[in-house]
């Protein structure tokens, strides 16, 4: 097996690196069972309309409730999931779970809450994504326009023609598309208008402490201008203070997301947050 080959190579590494590799291997075999053991869970972070302050929707963010290691953040296991290919089945679970939750919220009388879902490059390339989405549409009574997929620039720029075709297939089903972490990748502006996009999400690195950084403000205004020129809505993520929210609103951002408004929460906590925050926001 390829894995034991990798283990032999590890002999050349320092003990510390070997340790890391071993941990990685354990994690990977654990990850293989995480979905069936129902250890994966989606957290939801509110996205707020910059002008009205109302809830626009939520971003779904995966966590792994590991029986020994506790709650594991996506940055600690998504790379392993991508390397092993497990991301295809995990990603399909994320899509189903987010759609199931959206329908459950509606049936609980909470209305249509838009949900965005992060996609990995491997999922996009796997070739089965459109089929998965069609299946989900058959299984759940979701409004596809209320489900948005977030892709990073590097995903888009890798194999552009195939990507454009896949994105058109997703759009044809009625789903919305956004670019995540915008400004950190290397999007060719030439291609940008060829992707059937709805939204740009400005990377957090430009957003944080924007009230004290003329440079970040300049970059943000440029992205807002570019997005609006292309007919896209623009979100700022990583908003941590009222001061930053103010500056971003004035810079023309359409949507704000960040710890200042709410952290990612399990769905039960999100319901409580919504009940407590809805009244003052709607006023």
Footprint on this chain of Mg ion (rule: CB under 5 A)? 118, 150, 180-181
Question: According to the binding rule CB under 6 A, does residue 112 interact with ligand C2E?
Answer: no
Please identify which residue in 34, 94, 129, 179 interacts with ligand C2E, judged by CB under 6 A: 94
Q: Which is nearer to ligand C2E, 224 or 245 (CB)?
A: 245
Question: According to the binding rule CB under 6 A, does residue 227 interact with ligand C2E?
Answer: no
**SS3 of 109, please?**
coil
Please identify which residue in 104, 131, 172, 259 interacts with ligand C2E, judged by CB under 6 A: 259
CB of 21 to Mg ion, least distance (A): 25
Residue 56 CA: distances (Å) to CA of 34, 43, 47, 92, 141: 31, 16, 5, 24, 20
| Structural contact between residues 266 and 43, judged by C-beta atoms closer than 8 angstroms | yes
Q: Which is nearer to ligand C2E, 55 or 78 (CB)?
A: 78
Residue 180, both tokens? 């995540």
Residue 131 CA: distances (Å) to CA of 127, 138, 150, 276: 8, 11, 18, 39
Cα–Cα distance measured from residue 195 to residue 127, given in angstroms and rounded to the nearest whole number: 18
Question: According to the binding rule CB under 6 A, does residue 185 interact with ligand C2E?
Answer: no
Q: Which is nearer to Mg ion, 30 or 101 (CB)?
A: 101
CB of 241 to ligand C2E, least distance (A): 9
Residue 193: how many CB atoms within 10 A of its CB? 12
Q: Which one of Mg ion, ligand C2E, none is in contact with 113 (Cβ closer than 5 to 8 A by kind)?
A: none
Enclosing H/E stretch for 240: none
Question: Which residue lies nearest ligand C2E, judged by its C-beta?
Answer: 258
Residue 260: how many CB atoms within 10 A of its CB? 16
Site string for ligand C2E, 48-77 (x = CB under 6 A): -------------xx----------xxx--
Q: Which is nearer to ligand C2E, 237 or 255 (CB)?
A: 237
Q: Which one of Mg ion, ligand C2E, none is in contact with 148 (Cβ closer than 5 to 8 A by kind)?
A: none
**DSSP letter, residue 101:** H
Stretch that binds ligand C2E, among 8-16, 140-148, 159-167, 237-245 (CB under 6 A): 237-245
CB of 124 to ligand C2E, least distance (A): 10
Residue 150: how many CB atoms within 10 A of its CB? 21
Q: Which is nearer to ligand C2E, 8 or 75 (CB)?
A: 75
| Structural contact between residues 140 and 103, judged by C-beta atoms closer than 8 angstroms | yes
C-alpha 270: how far from chain center = 17
> Nearest 5 degrees, angle CA 112-CA 196-CA 200?
70
Stretch that binds ligand C2E, among 47-55, 125-133, 233-241, 271-279 (CB under 6 A): 233-241
- Which of 180, 100, 176, 105 is closest to 141 using CA atoms? 100
- Give the residues lining the site for ligand C2E (CB under 6 A): 45, 61-62, 73-75, 78, 91, 94, 118-120, 150, 180-181, 237-240, 258-259, 264
């Amino acid at each position: 097996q390829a894995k034991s080959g990798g283990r032999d190579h590890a002999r050349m590494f320092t003990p510390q690196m070997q340790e890391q590799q071993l941990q990685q291997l354990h994690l990977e075999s654990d990850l293989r069972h995480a979905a069936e053991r129902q250890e994966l869970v989606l957290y939801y972070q509110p996205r707020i309309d910059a002008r009205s302050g109302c809830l626009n929707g939520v971003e779904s963010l995966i966590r792994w409730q590991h029986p020994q290691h506790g709650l594991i953040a996506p940055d600690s296991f998504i790379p392993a999931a991508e390397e092993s290919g497990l991301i295809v089945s995990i990603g399909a679970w994320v899509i189903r779970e987010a759609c199931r939750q959206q329908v459950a919220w509606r049936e609980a009388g909470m209305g249509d809450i838009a949900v965005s879902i992060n996609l990995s490059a491997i999922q996009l390339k796997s070739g089965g994504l459109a089929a998965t989405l069609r299946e989900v549409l058959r299984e759940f009574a979701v409004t596809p326009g209320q489900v948005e997929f977030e892709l990073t620039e590097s995903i888009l720029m890798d194999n552009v023609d195939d990507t454009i075709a896949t994105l058109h297939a997703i759009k044809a089903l009625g789903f919305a598309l956004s670019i995540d972490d915008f400004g950190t990748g290397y999007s060719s502006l030439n291609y940008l208008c060829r992707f059937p996009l709805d939204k740009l999400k400005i990377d957090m690195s430009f957003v944080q402490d924007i009230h004290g950084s003329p440079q970040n403000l300049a970059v943000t205004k440029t992205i807002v201008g570019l997005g609006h020129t292309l007919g896209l809505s623009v979100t700022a993520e990583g908003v941590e203070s009222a001061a930053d929210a103010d500056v971003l609103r004035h810079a023309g951002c359409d949507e704000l997301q960040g710890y200042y408004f709410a952290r990612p929460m399990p769905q039960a906590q999100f319901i409580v947050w919504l009940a407590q925050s809805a009244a003052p926001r709607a006023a």
